[in-house]
Amino acid sequence: MKLKAVGSALALLSLYSLIFIGQSCQTPPAPPEVQEALSQEQDLWRAGASFFAPKEYEAYRQHLAEARKFFQQEELKIGYFRNYVKVRQKFRQVIDEGNSLKNLVETRKTQAAGEIRSLKNRLYERYQIFNSFSLELTMRNFSRQHLAQADVMFKEIDRLLAQEKYDLAREKLKAVENLLNQAENILRRQVERYMDPDQVAAWKRLAEKAVKKSEETGSLLILVSKLERRLTIYKNGKPVKTYEIGLGFNGLADKLHAGDDATPEGEYKVIKKVATSKYGKALLINYPNEEDLKKFNEARKKGIITERTKIGGLIEIHGGGKDGLTQGCVALDNSDMEELFRKIPVGTPVVIVGTTNLNNKIVSVFQDDKKAEKK
């Protein structure tokens, strides 16, 4: 009986041992938080966490490494003895930290994008000022090239913002700012005379002198203001008719020699009426006069122009359209030129000035530019 009881006990013990060993060999699945945290790390890296929140991202990675190490230690144990509750807790803490980090990255991205857009808008406002100004004055110079390049870069900045490439967008903004500064310098050099109070005062005196003479003699006068794109007929010192005019690519400059596309400034007179010309009816003026020849010869002596350079001539007030581009002449719409041609006899004084307004559009343009820079 005893042997039989012992045998039964051993058989029962063997059964329990097999059950225990079988249960111990079964490996429970890893907590889902492990894979979630690993995927989260990749998402944060792709989102640029190492750039936008480097310290926080490094701390997150360190905590993730510690959780992985703890998980690996548990994995070395026999399945029955593994404590996945603590593993889950550690990885849940890491995931919560990662979610906070993700929010921080998004906040800093939003801030970066906002700063870039704000600067871009300020620079674009400057661009619009210079672009409109140079187009209105039909100035053909390197400022147009710089402005065209800036326009292309603004589109590239929008593309980089959409791709969240903020570093490259900032570099492009610096390049745009440099282009706008160069364009401004070129424009300033070309029109600085119009911001010079002494020069404007001299033009004003010249115009007032001519108007006074028209009043004293009861004669006609043509007064051309280049900046305002305006031709006014005076009689007895009173304005009787004003026309809009067009100039050339370099019309705001004072003519010095042939081929410079500049419109001359000074006191002239109509020396011939041309009924049919390349641009319809025309009034030929006596450019170059004595003052023009003096200025030309001085420039040649100083080496500003070469000995082979010619002074030019055939400056007219002609038709063809005020929106056309001349090579130094003053252009009117054909209907206006027809009227002017009928009214103006040979010998009529013609005075051409830059402007008579100290607070002219050029001054206001650069004032507006300063306001745009300060915003």
As a whole-number percent, the residues of the chain with pLDDT over 90 amount to: 63
How confident is the prediction for the chain on average, in pLDDT?
Answer: 87
- Does the structure show a pLDDT above 90 at 109? yes
Q: Which two tokens stand for residue 94?
A: 């890491």
Q: What is the mean pLDDT of residues 109-130?
A: 93
pLDDT digits (tens, 9 = 90+) for 168-190: 999 999 999 999 999 888 888 87
Q: What is the pLDDT of residue 190?
A: 78
Residue 191: exposed, middle, or buried by beta-carbon count in 10 A (0-12, 13-18, 19+)? buried
My answer on whether omega of the bond before 32 falls inside 30° of 0, hence cis, is no
- Does the structure show a pLDDT above 50 at 24? no
Strands (E), the chain: 220-225, 230-235, 238-244, 266-277, 280-285, 316-318, 330-331, 349-353
Q: What is the mean pLDDT of residues 286-309?
A: 92
Q: What is the pLDDT of residue 23?
A: 46
Q: What is the pLDDT of residue 129?
A: 87
| Residue matched to tokens 């593994």 | 82
Domain ranges of the chain: 2-108, 197-358
Strand partners, 331: 246, 318
Tell me the CB-side half-sphere exposure of residue 280, using CA atoms within 13 A: 18
- Does the structure show a pLDDT above 70 at 5? no
Q: What is the mean pLDDT of residues 57-74?
A: 93
- The gap between the terminal CA atoms of the chain, to the nearest Å, is 105
- Does the structure show a pLDDT above 60 at 287? yes
Q: Looking at the structure, give the CATH architecture of the domain made up of residues 197-358.
A: Beta Barrel (2.40)
| Cα–Cα distance measured from residue 231 to residue 271, given in angstroms and rounded to the nearest whole number | 18
Q: What is the pLDDT of residue 373?
A: 61
pLDDT digits (tens, 9 = 90+) for 314-329: 999 999 988 877 888 9
